[in-house]
Amino acid sequence: MRKCDVLIVGTGCSGLYCALNLPRDKKIIMITKAKVEESDSYLAQGGICVQHDENDFEPFMEDTLKAGHYENTRESVEIMIGHSRDTINDLLEYGVRFCRDKNGELKYTREGGHGKHRILHHKDITGEEITSTLYARVKELANVEIMEYTTMVDIIARDGEAGVDIRSKRFPEGTLAAKASAKEFLQHKTGECFGAVIRKEDGSFDTIYADCTVLATGGVGGLYRYSTNFRHLTGDGVALALRHGIATKDVDYVQIHPTTFYSENIEDRSFLISESVRGEGAKLYNKNMERFVNELIPRDKLTAAIREQMAKDGTEHVWEDMRTIPLDELVAHFPNILEYCKDHGFDATKECIPIVPAQHYFMGGVKVDKNSQTSMDRLYAVGETACNGVHGKNRLASNSLLESLVFAKQAANDLLKYEPLDMDEDFDGMETKVKMQTDKDGQVVVTKVCTFLTPDYSKYDDIEKWNEENHKLVLDEINRRN
Ligand SMILES: Cc1cc2nc3c(=O)[nH]c(=O)nc-3n(C[C@H](O)[C@H](O)[C@H](O)COP(=O)(O)OP(=O)(O)OC[C@H]3O[C@@H](n4cnc5c(N)ncnc54)[C@H](O)[C@@H]3O)c2cc1C
């Protein structure tokens, strides 16, 4: 059993930035399922948005709302844009290197859906540059301990019972929790969180108690056959929210990327074939090598057309032809893509490559307020795990790194409002022993010694089954709302 002030589950950009923004006298434990470098934050290619100048607030807002089909939470978007410049300044101070022009000024680029140049980038590895820098700064902190290959299996909720499935419980008015709306959930705050049950690399279980817990567990791509995400990102934060009756939002809003490299190996993460390849003139073909679609229609429509064609042809992919792009331009613009294809057996300068749509991003998640607090006290959610409504129905390119960082800082600031847990008052699952000591004046002093009872780990004995149930819970919820 361990105890800390703040437990952060996940070491992507949101988890790391949250840790950096907490006071240095807080004892922080961060856990991650894999190595720190194995998070989607390291994969981000294009860049990170920032309000370009004082006249860019409304245009940035409009682009974000338009991409999100106007289903975004305006207040959240305002917070994201309003804090964007400060966030970039923080990153620069930590040592992040963004591309600059010949005068040394920050160089802004533009992507689909943006009416203006407002994206900062570091080559085509922006995520790696940002996240590795944040990681380097966190490693310098004496108050932060990082545990790799350590998985959150469950949260410890108010009654000390981990893994209580509240979906079969009823609220006082009689509503079945499983049927309650998000609003009803919020009216019935679902208790308090006191940390998490973890599974260590050697397979043993342990408990980390914490005054506050932050879920920064990333997206849901690992639940899909084809996804650009790391395979170990399986929506664990959302699954536990569903098990414990914590409010979720827009869980059916999953972004699919139409063109990723097709691999027969189910273990492989899908590699993005950037939209700009099609922008430069690449064409899509069916099994007879005939064009079947306008390649520049919006992502969702193109995905539907590719899937329809695959079903018609009875194939697992369609073909993308990059030979339509002048060779010198192809080589200069897309060296990484060409290299990846070559490593995987295709010379894209001479032949077509197999393409399939893949899950890419999760707009929905654990419902949070503007301070990243969930409907459970002492429990926060940040990054792709959380849904604060910034993205609405569809994420605008390069908004997710920014959103992850801004709202991780909101969480770090807000969670300080909680008093440290009073171990005597707050814990039912705790054994209290009375101990008598004599002080220096010979007076007898009565001290309470608290011993935590170990949660019942037997419910996780069949860990494969527990995980499968979690995966099913999330997928059912995504499909139920679709
Ligand atoms: C290929 C690709 C390109 C992208 N390009 C861009 C871009 O150009 N611009 C942009 O803004 N966004 C981009 N994105 C999206 C962006 O990278 C992510 O949305 C963002 O990095 C998410 O950060 P995060 O901290 O929420 O999660 P992640 O970085 O995914 O980190 C999740 C962490 O949670 C841990 N974890 C998960 N479950 C558990 C558990 N049960 N117990 C313990 N630890 C757990 C993982 O090990 C990991 O450390 C891209 C994404 C991909 C996949």
Identify which of 479, 432, 435 has the alpha carbon closest to the alpha carbon of residue 451: 432
What proportion of the chain, given as a percentage, has pLDDT over 90? 69
Tell me, what's the pLDDT at 183?
Answer: 55
Which residue's CA is the closest to the ligand 1 atom numbered 27?
218
Residue given tokens 């959103």 in the structure block: 403
Helix ranges restricted to H, 119-267: 126-139, 182-187, 236-243
Q: What residues act catalytically?
A: 299
Tell me, what's the pLDDT at 180?
Answer: 58
Q: In the predicted model, what is the mean pLDDT of residues 34-59?
A: 95
Tell me, what's the pLDDT at 84?
Answer: 98
Which residue's CA is the closest to the ligand 1 atom numbered 36?
217
Atom of ligand 1 nearest to the CA of 227: 53
Atom of ligand 1 nearest to the CA of 36: 49
pLDDT tens, 247-298?
899 999 999 999 999 998 877 799 989 877 887 889 999 999 999 999 887 7
Taking 50 as the threshold, does the pLDDT of residue 139 lie above it?
yes
User: Ligand 1 pocket by C-beta < 6 Å: which residues?
Assistant: 9-15, 31-34, 39-41, 43-48, 126-127, 151-152, 216-218, 228-229, 232-233, 236, 272, 361, 383-385, 398-401, 404
Can you point out the beta strands (E) in 351-422?
Answer: 353-362, 365-367, 379-381, 386-387
Atom of ligand 1 nearest to the CA of 41: 21
Determine the residue of 31, 146, 217 to mutate for testing ligand 1's pocket, defined as the one with the most ligand atoms within 8 A of the Cβ atom: 217
Ligand 1 centroid from CA 382, angstroms: 11
Ligand 1 centroid from CA 479, angstroms: 22
The length of the chain in residues reads: 482
Taking 60 as the threshold, does the pLDDT of residue 428 lie above it?
no
Q: Which of 33-47, 413-427, 432-446 has the lowest mean pLDDT?
A: 432-446
Q: Give the DSSP letter of residue 474.
A: H
pLDDT tens, 181-208?
555 555 555 678 889 999 999 999 999 9
Q: Which of 28-32, 205-209, 363-367 has the lowest mean pLDDT?
A: 205-209
Which residue's CA is the closest to the ligand 1 atom numbered 6?
44
Report the mean per-residue pLDDT for the chain: 88
Q: What is the pTM of this model?
A: 0.89
Q: In the predicted model, what is the mean pLDDT of residues 443-453?
A: 50
Residue 429 vs residue 6, higher pLDDT? 6
Task: Give all domains of the chain, ordered by start, each with its CATH number.
Answer: 1-253+363-426+472-482 (3.50.50.60), 261-359 (3.90.700.10)
What proportion of the chain, given as a percentage, has pLDDT over 70? 86
Tokens coding 135: 């990681």
Q: How far apart are the first and last CA of the chain?
A: 41
Contact 320, 353 (CB under 8 A): yes
Q: Which of 153-157, 199-203, 228-232, 277-281 has the lowest mean pLDDT?
A: 277-281
